[in-house]
Chains A and B, each alone.
Chain A
Amino acid sequence: GIQVEQSPPDLILQEGANSTLRCNFSDSVNNLQWFHQNPWGQLINLFYIPSGTKQNGRLSATTVATERYSLLYISSSQTTDSGVYFCAVRAGYALNFGKGTSLLVTP
Chain B
Amino acid sequence: NAGVTQTPKFQVLKTGQSMTLQCAQDMNHNSMYWYRQDPGMGLRLIYYSASEGTTDKGEVPNGYNVSRLNKREFSLRLESAAPSQTSVYFCASSNSGGYNEQFFGPGTRLTVL
Distance, CA A49 to CA B29, complexed state (A): 19
Whether the Cβ atoms of A41 and B107 lie closer than 8 Å is yes
- Interface: A25 (CB within 8 A): no
Distance, CA A43 to CA B89, complexed state (A): 12
Whether the Cβ atoms of A95 and B59 lie closer than 8 Å is no
- Interface: A45 (CB within 8 A): yes
Q: Binding site of A, secondary structure by majority: helix, strand, loop or mixed?
A: strand
A90: contacting residue among B59, B100, B106, CB under 8 A: B100
Distance, CA A33 to CA B107, complexed state (A): 18
Whether the Cβ atoms of A45 and B107 lie closer than 8 Å is no
Give the number of residue pairs across the A-B interface with Cβ within 8 Å. Answer: 57
Distance, CA A31 to CA B104, complexed state (A): 16
User: Which residues of chain A have C-beta atoms less than 8 A from B42's C-beta?
Assistant: 4, 86, 88, 96-100
User: Which residues of chain B have C-beta atoms less than 8 A from A97's C-beta?
Assistant: 41-44
Q: Which of A4, A30, A94, A99: most chain B CB closer than 10 A? A: A94
User: Which residues of chain B have C-beta atoms less than 8 A from A93's C-beta?
Assistant: 31, 33, 45, 48, 50, 56, 58
